[in-house]
Structure 1
Amino acid sequence: MTTIPGLAATSMVRGRRVFLAGIDWLPVTLRAGKNVKSEARRQGADRVVSYRYRDRQKHPQWVMGLVNWSALALPKGCKDGYALALLIVPQLKGSGYAIIAIDRTHYGFVSSIDGVLINDLVGDKATIVQTQKKLSPV
């Protein structure tokens, strides 16, 4: 597991695949959405993942996840990177959250509302439990 300060993604390597949790997700203006890679470079990232969704008024919205791939201490041969949150959100069936164990001391927290990614966090057990309590109804 590697965490990057600034662009704080946490990597999990499985074979040659890299799964990233805790990605910094930023809204993208429609104008910047046409050139997401350039916008990511301006923000200091060397890799970017983006996705598009429709808000409640059915207007298209873009979000980009920024990663500093070169700062990750990855084994040789790792090429493919996947945003773990974007793999989990469809499994939540609209709105909900998931907590996953990343290693023995770190957990990931992914939440969505109406199928839109809201949280992609990594922390110790206490941090994730605190986040869960904030988002769960009383």
Structure 2
Amino acid sequence: MLLTIGEILHSLKITRSVQEQALALLRSVQAVENASTISDCLASVDLLTQDLMQEKYPACVVHFQYLRRLLVKNMPGLDEAPDSENRLAFNLLGDIEFELLKANQIRGSAYLSKPQKTALLKKLLQLKQQLEANNPAKRAE
């Protein structure tokens, strides 16, 4: 009977060890997925910046809405914490999208003025810096 109890305790110890290894592996896979998503977001910001410089406003809106969907899907607490950096990013996302939608509605040769474009570019670069700061790949270095 002592032998059976010993075998059961040994099995429990092995099960816990396997469970801990599985959790560690899952965390590393999630970190890689998060880094990949942030990389996709950074690439989208770069495309958006290029399109903005070339005054391709419809393309800007498309790239930004893709970026926003990625962020909201992969950063679920984005709009829930009013005092965190994530809340600032959400406000920044709303500001950028609003300005892009406004620019997209402009007809004829009345594009964004240079100061408007500069302000929008600064917001995009601020967003890019926040994404880079939250990149798990960078933190692992």
Specify which structure has the higher proportion of helix: 2
**TM-score, with structure 1 as normaliser:** 0.25
Give the number of the structure with larger relative contact order, counting CA–CA contacts within 8 Å between residues 6 or more apart. Answer: 2
**TM-score, with structure 2 as normaliser:** 0.25
Specify which structure has the higher proportion of strand: 1
**Larger Rg computed on CA atoms:** 2
